[in-house]
Structure 1
């Protein structure tokens, strides 16, 4: 699960996106949650300059056809791929096949990301981590789909 959704202040602006959900609280009490912030795992700072995917979506980044660029123009693609790889390694190590990630993030967005122009415009797409996990068979849900993730676990 994205660390920011668990209240950890790891977002680019030093904030969190804490979710208040009974299912998540139950999973937490049962010790079923593995927390990760791909960007922090890749060595990026808190806070950090906001970044967006330019020229596509997470899958395009993994294919080398798009880049992750921060607002100052610095290319941070390698860091995003490294962080995604850490998240995948955690899934493989702990036999995780369902992930709940923060929507709209260039790492974790599962169905919506920002358009790469730093205009606040969202477009359909996945972040780099979400794309890598899906490529390896992990079901990815956003924080708005916790009930769906719970249902998927019951199957």
Structure 2
């Protein structure tokens, strides 16, 4: 089995500020994931051509803007398409993505005001993956992800 994982959660320095979110996954959780599935690192924002570091971005309405008001929607859409291509190429039906991100957030994202306010919604990539039948989990849903992996393993 193969699973897409946000590269920032794996310790890659691809976060908007040039750092990573590697500390959000406990080492034992990461080891368990590695034993259970092949991990395919992805960063939709990098896939879309955005630099590291870059201005933070949030979704406002149907568009993605950086903190200076520049429309970055096309880069986010391109990154989402490239991530979906990777999912299909590697046969991934599950993804572990960074919560609240304008790319990867599932169910909850920042609201576009750059005030750390969270609202209901999906990031651009998470939305595209979900529409294409790929289950998306955030880092706070590790247990649910492991259960889904176990179900797939016993079914396949």
Report the TM-score, using the length of structure 2 for normalisation.
0.88
Query: 2:99 aligns to what?
Result: 103
Find the aligned partners of 1:113 and 1:30 in 2 and give their Cα distance: 28
Say which is worse superposed, 11-20 or 100-109, in terms of deviation.
Answer: 11-20
Find the aligned partners of 2:43 and 2:100 in 1 and give their Cα distance: 14
1:4 pairs with 2:8: yes
Per-residue deviation, residues 44-72 of structure 1 (Å, max 9, x unmatched): 111100110011xxxxxxxxxx1001111
Unaligned 5+ runs, structure 1: 56-65
Deviating runs (4+, > 2 A) in structure 1?
A: 21-24, 26-31
Query: 2:82 aligns to what?
Result: 86
For residue 91 of structure 1, report the CA deviation from its aligned partner: 0.7
Q: Of 51, 67, 79, which residue of structure 1 is paired with 2:63? A: 67
Q: Of 54, 77, 84, which residue of structure 2 is paired with 1:48? A: 54
Greater per-residue strand proportion:
2
**SS of the residue aligned with 1:33?**
strand
Report the TM-score, using the length of structure 1 for normalisation.
0.89
For residue 42 of structure 1, report the CA deviation from its aligned partner: 1.2
Find the aligned partners of 2:35 and 2:147 in 1 and give their Cα distance: 19
Find the aligned partners of 1:151 and 1:30 in 2 and give their Cα distance: 11
**8 Å Cα contact 1:103/1:110 also seen in 2:** yes
Aligned residues: 145
Unaligned 5+ runs, structure 2: 152-156
**SS of the residue aligned with 1:40?**
helix
Query: 1:63 aligns to what?
Result: none
